[in-house]
Homo-oligomer: A and B are copies of this chain.
Amino acid sequence: MQHNPFFDPAPRQHTDGLFAREEVYLANRNHGALLEMLRHEVTPAGLHYLLNHFDVPYVPDAEAWRLHVGGRVSTPLSLSLEDIRALPPKTLRVTLECAGSGRANIVPRWPSMPWLNTAVGTSEWTGTPLSNVIERAGLAADVVDVSFTGADRGFDKGHEHEYGRSLTPDVAMHNDVLLVYAMNGQPLLPQHGFPLRLIVPGWYGMASVKWLHRIEALTMPYDGYEQVQSYIYKTGAADRGVPVTQMRVKSLMVPPGVPDWFTGARLVEAGQVTVYGRAWSGNGAPITKVEFGIDGAWSNAELDPPAAKYAWRGWRFDWDASRGEHELACRATDDNGQTQPLTPAFDRGGFGNNAVHKVQVTVR
């Protein structure tokens, strides 16, 4: 990991003010899912949230792509896509959320991708369990971390690196961690990791390395920038922090009515309105309850039948909308008893904001 002090163009500090041009630059490149598209159980192509740290690699010839597996293994491998597609296939419907979703609602705010609350999506991911490849390579008994490196490269705070992350061997060998080459039955889109990526169900998206080209078995803890410096929960500067891993329980609603273009403020017609939404949690923990809040009073929403293990669960609430201003909200609970806070906890990097989704509406 190389630190290049001459290439850290804009040192950052927390702010509670307006947004910098750099934040807007990131919001031009990355995009959320559009809340109204929560009506779709599987997010349509191009509407799955996108958070790419560096340029999307240009891969004109996927047949030349190789996945190298090395480090403390008995048999180093160099696998083509054909090799990987020949392994037993597996498809999982997985909800992924960006760890930074909701960052722009945390005060003070860390300047980075200024997500409001839409960095989430659900796809059918097809590939093969990573364990099939790792078993073929054969991990040594003293391996403590398995690292995953993508082909996307650049700088962050002067650190030059290819995007990389690691998993402990027990997580890496879990049968639902996939090496993925297809999304919703189509080849991966370039921006989602073509030709090969990792999918780590239940975890925030940073674990699901895109454009994966190198796996390495390590006998010392992995110290890549995105693992040990970037995705860490911290509340103070001196805080050693806690790594970001599984997604926290969360829910979102389709804002009812129609929007004002510039503000997104909602106008709703008085009367019966069905409000739709989805809820999810990490670690495959099922959603057991979603509450719908109207001006601070909570009622249970109706849950759709249980979804696939790692996918969000639909819900709906029939609201009798009366004229005036109202604050709507939704709050999910999973079967670990975890639920959502009413307001976001402060986090230095703006990670893990699972506060309830609130929508202000004007009913006429």
State the A residues within 8 Å of B (CB): 4, 6-10, 12, 17-32, 34, 36-37, 39-40, 44-48, 50, 52-56, 58, 60, 104, 111-112, 114-116, 118, 153-156, 160, 189-192, 258-265, 267, 362
* Chain B contacts for A118, CB-based, 8 A: 28-29
B32 x A104 contact (CB < 8 A): no
B36 x A32 contact (CB < 8 A): no
8 Å CB contact of A44 from B28, B39, B190: B190
Give the complex CA separation of A40 and B54 in angstroms: 17
8 Å CB contact of A261 from B28, B44, B156, B264: B156
Question: Contacts A267-B7, A267-B155 hold; do A37 and B190 have CB atoms under 8 A apart?
Answer: yes
* Chain B contacts for A10, CB-based, 8 A: 260, 262-263, 265
A191 closest partner in B (C-beta): B47
Question: Contacts A37-B56, A53-B261 hold; do A19 and B28 have CB atoms under 8 A apart?
Answer: no
* Chain B contacts for A191, CB-based, 8 A: 34, 37, 44, 46-47
* Chain B contacts for A19, CB-based, 8 A: 18-21, 23-24
B262 x A24 contact (CB < 8 A): no
Give the complex CA separation of A68 and B52 in angstroms: 42
Question: Contacts A17-B18, A20-B19, A189-B44 hold; do A259 and B155 have CB atoms under 8 A apart?
Answer: yes
B189 x A46 contact (CB < 8 A): yes
A112 x B27 contact (CB < 8 A): no
B261 x A9 contact (CB < 8 A): no
* Chain B contacts for A37, CB-based, 8 A: 56, 190-191
